[in-house]
Structure 1
Amino acid sequence: MPLNLPDKLPAIELLKEENIFVIDNSRATQQDIRPLRIAILNLMPLKITTETDLVRLLSNTPLQVEVSFMKLKSHTSKNTSVEHMETFYTDFEEMCNDKYDGMIITGAPVEQMDFEEVGYWEEITKVFNWARTHVTSTLYICWAAQAGLYHHYGVPKHALEQKMFGIFRHRTLDPLHPIFRGFDDLFYVPHSRHTEVRKEDILKVPELTLLSESDESGVYLVMARGGREFFVTGHSEYSPLTLDAEYRRDLEKGLPIEVPYHYYLDNDPDKGPVVCWRGHANLLFSNWLNYFVYQETPYNIDDIK
């Protein structure tokens, strides 16, 4: 099935060039089917890039998915035009009376601040609480994963001596869990962060289940409430060139940055990246949509509790 996106969203044309089947709202209304309703709270600086990355992964499913983009009234994007935000994004307070089959909350470039110092902390915690009663399953990514674990379960984050930056090998701790359907024993994930949540803090909370970790990058995937919440510390959604762009940006700014680990061919930026996480990323999102959204959500969306 195609992905149902807002009319004229830039990601539509970008993904059509990759032969990914997407349709806009105008055409979708002609199909007699109830699509899965997915809300995306996109806190990343480059909105269009993140939209395209997420939509690419959500499209890899036979289900029809209707995507709505959410924004916070207490936060103004500095890197995306006002016109784009007004056209494709809706304030949380205008969406809070609706219910959604699934929700994705992205990372944000505020991880080195204390949670309570973030300007939109009060509003985003309202979103976290709202999702528990209005969304069947929520996927928290990177900073959002740390923030959600802290807000809901009191799990602290810890500063790293050096940025966790590159592609790291992970293992599943429960290979038969549905979220890992089709996974290899070892799989790779991009990470780009200055902070971490630690295994010992996760294991102290009975409501949390640690599902995957890495010897190098630590905790990766944590589940709560039987799959109604997933906390993902990495960036499985990253496109092949995202880490390259981050690396070259930081070099130009004169920031202390190491070459991304296990990313470039022969560890040489001039030879380009070797993509080894695309298969895992597609499985993660399709398994989440299938087993924890589609198979769990009620047909009457108003019945979500």
Structure 2
Amino acid sequence: MPLKLPDQLPAIELLKKENIFVMDDSRAHMQDIRPLKIVILNLMPLKITTETDLIRLLSNTPLQLEVSFMKLRSHTPKNTPIEHMMMFYRDFQQMRKERYDGMIITGAPVETLDFEDVTYWDEMTEIFSWARTHVTSTLYICWAAQAGLYYHYGVPKYQLPKKMFGVFPQHTLQSKLPIFRGFDDVFQMPHSRHTEIHREDIEKQHELSLIAESPESGVSIVMAREGREFFITGHLEYAPNTLDKEYRRDCGIRDDVDLPKNYYKDNNPSNEPLVTWRAHANLFYNNWINYYVYQATPFDINTIR
């Protein structure tokens, strides 16, 4: 089944060019199916890019998904047209009485700030608490993963001397979990962050399970509440050229960013990126939707607790 997306969402035409089958609201209403409701809280500056990256991965499931976009009332994005935000996004306050089968909370360019110094921290914590009673399973990505672990479990973050930047091999630590069904023992994941969390802090919390990590990039995926929460420190959703764009944006401007590791062919930025994470990215999101959303969510969405 394809995804059910808002009419005129830019991602629809972008993904059709990649031969990915999506459909808008008008066509979806013709199908007598209860779609899984997925909400994305998109905190990234380039909203349309992030929308497209996530929808690309969600499109691989055989289930019909209805995707909605949430925004913060306490923060106004600077890099996305206001018309786009008004057409496709709703404030959390407008959505707080609704329930969702799955939720994705993206990273945000605020990781070097203390959590409490983020201008929208109060609203974020309200959403974190709300998700526990209104969503079957939630994916926290990058900064959101660090923020969620800090808020729910008191796990601190630590400043890195240089940006963790590139594509790094990750090792599955609990390979029999459904989220890793079909995975190899080692898989690749892009990382782009200035802070990290430590294994020993995860291990202090008996409610948390470290399920994937890397010798170089550290803690990778943490699971809680039997899969109702996943905290992912990297970016499986990244498009092939995302790290390249970040590198060229920051090159010569910042002194804490090196060439992204394990990314360009022959480690030469004049060459094309070598995409090594796409298959496992699709598998991860497909497993999440199937085993932790579809098979765990109640038939009556209003009974989610």
**Shorter-chain TM-score range:** over 0.9
Counterpart in the other structure of 1:218: 218
Counterpart in the other structure of 1:91: 91
CA distance in 2, matches of 1:157, 1:76: 26
Counterpart in the other structure of 2:141: 141
CA distance in 1, matches of 2:282, 2:69: 21
CA distance in 2, matches of 1:30, 1:74: 37
Given that 1:250 and 1:256 are in contact with CA atoms closer than 8 Å, whether structure 2 keeps it comes out as no
CA distance in 1, matches of 2:137, 2:244: 32
Q: CA deviation at 1:255?
A: 4.6
Counterpart in the other structure of 1:65: 65
Structure 1 unaligned segments of length 5 or more: list them: none
Asked if residue 189 in structure 1 is aligned to residue 193 in structure 2, the reply is no
Counterpart in the other structure of 1:52: 52
Counterpart in the other structure of 1:79: 79
Counterpart in the other structure of 2:247: 247
Question: What letter corresponds to residue 296 of structure 1 in structure 2?
Answer: A
CA RMSD of aligned residues (A): 0.7
User: What percentage of aligned pairs have identical amino acids?
Assistant: 68
Q: CA deviation at 1:147?
A: 0.1
Counterpart in the other structure of 1:301: 301
Q: CA deviation at 1:256?
A: 3.9
Counterpart in the other structure of 1:118: 118
Counterpart in the other structure of 2:6: 6
Aligned residues: 305
Q: Provide, for residues 106-140 of structure 1, a one-character-per-residue CA deviation record: whole Å limited to 9, x for no partner.
A: 00000000000000000010000000000000000
CA distance in 2, matches of 1:270, 1:182: 34
Q: CA deviation at 1:254?
A: 5.0
Given that 1:138 and 1:229 are in contact with CA atoms closer than 8 Å, whether structure 2 keeps it comes out as yes
Question: What letter corresponds to residue 49 of structure 1 in structure 2?
Answer: T
Secondary structure (helix, strand or coil) at the match of 1:238 reads coil
Q: CA deviation at 1:26?
A: 1.1
Secondary structure (helix, strand or coil) at the match of 2:7 reads coil
Q: Provide, for residues 5-25 of structure 1, a one-character-per-residue CA deviation record: whole Å limited to 9, x for no partner.
A: 000000000000001000001
Q: CA deviation at 1:252?
A: 5.4
Secondary structure (helix, strand or coil) at the match of 1:269 reads coil
Counterpart in the other structure of 2:162: 162
Question: What letter corresponds to residue 82 of structure 2 in structure 1?
Answer: V
Asked if residue 20 in structure 1 is aligned to residue 20 in structure 2, the reply is yes
Judging changes above 3 Å, is the alpha-carbon distance between structure 1 residues 228 and 76 closer, same or farther for their aligned structure 2 residues? same
Counterpart in the other structure of 2:106: 106
CA distance in 2, matches of 1:253, 1:93: 38
Given that 2:162 and 2:256 are in contact with CA atoms closer than 8 Å, whether structure 1 keeps it comes out as no
Question: What letter corresponds to residue 202 of structure 2 in structure 1?
Answer: I
Secondary structure (helix, strand or coil) at the match of 1:163 reads strand
CA distance in 2, matches of 1:204, 1:161: 25
Judging changes above 3 Å, is the alpha-carbon distance between structure 1 residues 11 and 252 closer, same or farther for their aligned structure 2 residues? farther
Secondary structure (helix, strand or coil) at the match of 2:251 reads helix
Structure 2 unaligned segments of length 5 or more: list them: none
* 1:165-184 matched pairs, under 5 angstroms: 165-184=165-184
Counterpart in the other structure of 2:228: 228
CA distance in 1, matches of 2:79, 2:68: 20
CA distance in 2, matches of 1:64, 1:165: 35
CA distance in 2, matches of 1:134, 1:122: 18
CA distance in 2, matches of 1:257, 1:118: 23
CA distance in 2, matches of 1:197, 1:45: 23
Q: CA deviation at 1:150?
A: 0.1
Secondary structure (helix, strand or coil) at the match of 1:249 reads helix
Q: CA deviation at 1:253?
A: 3.3
**TM-score w.r.t. length of structure 1:** 0.99
Q: Provide, for residues 249-285 of structure 1, a one-character-per-residue CA deviation record: whole Å limited to 9, x for no partner.
A: 0015355421000000000000111000001100110
Question: What letter corresponds to residue 294 of structure 2 in structure 1?
Answer: Y
Secondary structure (helix, strand or coil) at the match of 1:270 reads coil
Given that 1:202 and 1:210 are in contact with CA atoms closer than 8 Å, whether structure 2 keeps it comes out as yes
Q: Provide, for residues 88-114 of structure 1, a one-character-per-residue CA deviation record: whole Å limited to 9, x for no partner.
A: 000000000000000000000000000
Counterpart in the other structure of 2:43: 43
**TM-score w.r.t. length of structure 2:** 0.99
